Amino acid sequence: MPIGLAQRMLDVAPSATKAMTAQARALSAGGHDIIALTQGEPDFDTPKAICAAGVAAIRGGHTRYTTVAGIPDLRQAIAGQLDQDHDLAYAPDQIIVGSGAKQVIVNALLATLDPGDEVVVPSPCWVSYPEMTKLAGGVPIIADGMASATFKLTPALLDAAITPRTRWLILNTPSNPTGAVYTASELDALAEVLRGNDHVAVLCDEIYEQLVYSPARFASLAAMAPDLSDRILIVNGVSKAHAMTGWRIGWGAGPKPLIKAMTTIQGQTTSHASSIAQRAALEAVVGDQAHLKAFRDTLRKRRDLICEHLNRMPGLACRVPDGAFYVLVSCEAMIGRKAPDGTPIGSDVDFAMLLLERFGVAVVPGSSFRAPGHMRLSFAASTGDVVRACERLQEACDTLMAETA
Ligand SMILES: Cc1ncc(COP(=O)(O)O)c(C=O)c1O
């Protein structure tokens, strides 16, 4: 008899981003010339000093189990960074280090959700929030921000999404997939709604904090609304800022009882993040930070380049993102048209497939982020790839607009 799967698997989808990346890789491996704009990671190498700290950890024998919540030096350093950057006072026992921000978020949801509890997820949203919520037995309530010009959650949308069963609001700034960055006054307005709903906690996913392009400025809800601190969990990590996605280090900072419960879950599942990666992350947090600006400057140039091209292409339109390394592009004008072989393009998924199979550009369809009629392009690819991808997209748009003309 085959191994049966749990009921919960009926409802949990695999990551669409990872699926599209895998498909692009498979086509490339088969000899096709594919440019992937699907990646959720910078194309930069991890800075040398951070790698050296990892090597030194191995050589120095830091190869055994660590404390579940993370090595004390790293937790102390994270607390120091929160204090220095945002004037936020967290004790090391209010911080948990996990295997990536992803594990930290799952720990938090598992620690707090009972079956049927609701999590407000503003859309467009990162593909994993609704699925993680379902895995933890909760119900994602999508607050649809597609109608708002900035794609951001508004106080009215938040108010309408909250019910007596709401346990969490997940707030992601800068956002994956829109690159939207919440201003201090926007956070203030959301905090006002939260003050009237003291049963709602906020998971602030700030993993793209370091990737904000001036004049936009990063603002943290915890710093804006200190009165809400006992129901805010900040999630951050080294993956995106320090080009360390494969090292798998993320962290959460929040109220002690929550961190304690999350630590219990981690202790019974993965035990702790890699001892070696924790030492490398310590260097990332306390060491030279010059690479942050260098990464940001490079990504900013690519953002300007790709957005300028996209907004000149017939049938496509995008807002210039203030942060992260994604641009959410409307391809609504392409839907209803026909591919060169006569196949109708009925959705953003069809359009993304056409781009991949006929024009050699891999993007993620917006539907995966609850943004139908759109596609997400990552500009964390090399500048050469971004330029070549724009040429191919231009050809695709010209072809499709001509087909139906
Ligand atoms: C919004 C958001 N949060 C969290 C993560 C996961 O980060 P990590 O690689 O540290 O698990 C990602 C990765 O794509 C993300 O886009």
Question: Would the pTM count as exceeding 0.85?
Answer: yes
Kindly state whether residue 361 falls inside one of the protein's structural domains.
yes
Does 143 lie in the same domain as 14?
A: no
Residue 132 predicted with pLDDT over 90:
yes
How many other C-beta atoms can be found within 10 angstroms of the C-beta atom of residue 155?
Answer: 15
176 Cα–ligand 1 center, Å? 9
Does 315 lie in the same domain as 278?
A: no
172 touches ligand 1 (CB under 6 Å) = yes
Mutation test of ligand 1: which of 132, 133, 176 has the most ligand atoms closer than 8 Å to its C-beta? 176
Does 116 lie in the same domain as 32?
A: no
Could you tell me the CATH number of the domain that includes residue 388? 3.90.1150.10
Kindly state whether residue 2 falls inside one of the protein's structural domains.
no
Does 39 lie in the same domain as 155?
A: no
100 touches ligand 1 (CB under 6 Å) = yes
How many other C-beta atoms can be found within 10 angstroms of the C-beta atom of residue 403?
Answer: 14
Alpha helices, DSSP H only, in 35-99?
Answer: 48-59, 72-86
Closest ligand 1 atom to Cα of 324 = 16
Share of the chain above pLDDT 90, in %: 89
Of 260, 288, 316, which marks where a domain is finished?
Answer: 288
Tokens 């050699």 found at: 360
Of 254, 269, 288, which marks where a domain is finished?
Answer: 288
359 Cα–ligand 1 center, Å? 29
Phi, psi for residue 236 in degrees, rounded to 5: -155, -175
Phi, psi for residue 164 in degrees, rounded to 5: -60, -20
Structure confidence at residue 344 (pLDDT) = 93
Indicate the pLDDT class of residue 57, thresholds 50, 70 and 90: very high
**What rounded mean pLDDT belongs to the chain?**
95
Residue 381 predicted with pLDDT over 60:
yes
Tell me the average pLDDT across 71-78. Answer: 98
346 Cα–ligand 1 center, Å? 30
Residue 75 predicted with pLDDT over 70:
yes
Structure confidence at residue 258 (pLDDT) = 98
Does 81 lie in the same domain as 39?
A: no
Nearest CA to ligand 1 atom 14: 40
72 Cα–ligand 1 center, Å? 23
Does 247 lie in the same domain as 358?
A: no
Tell me the average pLDDT across 119-136. Answer: 96
Does 392 lie in the same domain as 308?
A: yes
Does 72 lie in the same domain as 143?
A: yes
How many other C-beta atoms can be found within 10 angstroms of the C-beta atom of residue 342?
Answer: 7
Q: 146-159 pLDDT, tens per residue?
A: 888 889 999 999 99
Structure confidence at residue 285 (pLDDT) = 98
Does 59 lie in the same domain as 167?
A: yes
Residue 166 predicted with pLDDT over 80:
yes
Q: 286-336 pLDDT, tens per residue?
A: 999 999 999 999 999 999 999 999 999 999 999 999 999 999 999 999 999
Amino acid in the structure at residue 132: M
113 touches ligand 1 (CB under 6 Å) = no
Is the Cα dihedral 208, 209, 211, 212 positive or negative? positive
Give how far Cα 7 sits from Cα of 10, 43, 163, Å: 6, 38, 26
Indicate the pLDDT class of residue 401, thresholds 50, 70 and 90: confident
Give how far Cα 136 sits from Cα of 125, 193, 348, Å: 18, 26, 29
Could you tell me the end-to-end alpha-carbon distance of the chain, in angstroms, rounded to an integer? Answer: 56
The least confident of 14-18, 180-184, 214-218 is 14-18
237 touches ligand 1 (CB under 6 Å) = yes
Share of the chain above pLDDT 70, in %: 99
Q: 249-272 pLDDT, tens per residue?
A: 999 999 999 999 999 999 999 999
Does 221 lie in the same domain as 147?
A: yes
Kindly state whether residue 301 falls inside one of the protein's structural domains.
yes
Could you tell me the CATH number of the domain that includes residue 210? 3.40.640.10
Kindly state whether residue 129 falls inside one of the protein's structural domains.
yes
Closest ligand 1 atom to Cα of 126 = 1
- Number of compact structural domains in the chain: 2
176 touches ligand 1 (CB under 6 Å) = yes
Mutation test of ligand 1: which of 38, 99, 102 has the most ligand atoms closer than 8 Å to its C-beta? 102
Tokens 């603002």 found at: 219
The least confident of 109-118, 172-181, 233-242, 339-348 is 339-348
71 Cα–ligand 1 center, Å? 21
Does 94 lie in the same domain as 65?
A: yes
Kindly state whether residue 386 falls inside one of the protein's structural domains.
yes
125 Cα–ligand 1 center, Å? 12
47 Cα–ligand 1 center, Å? 19
Do the Cβ atoms of 354 and 396 come closer than 8 Å? yes
Q: 170-191 pLDDT, tens per residue?
A: 999 999 999 999 999 999 999 9
Give how far Cα 74 sits from Cα of 196, 243, 247, 263, Å: 36, 18, 15, 15
Structure confidence at residue 21 (pLDDT) = 79
Do the Cβ atoms of 157 and 145 come closer than 8 Å? yes
Q: What is the largest CA-CA distance in the chain?
A: 67
Q: 83-112 pLDDT, tens per residue?
A: 999 999 999 999 999 999 999 999 999 999
Q: Which domain holds residue 197?
A: 48-288
Give how far Cα 108 sits from Cα of 7, 104, 135, 210, Å: 22, 6, 12, 23
170 Cα–ligand 1 center, Å? 13
Structure confidence at residue 404 (pLDDT) = 57
Does 160 lie in the same domain as 38?
A: no
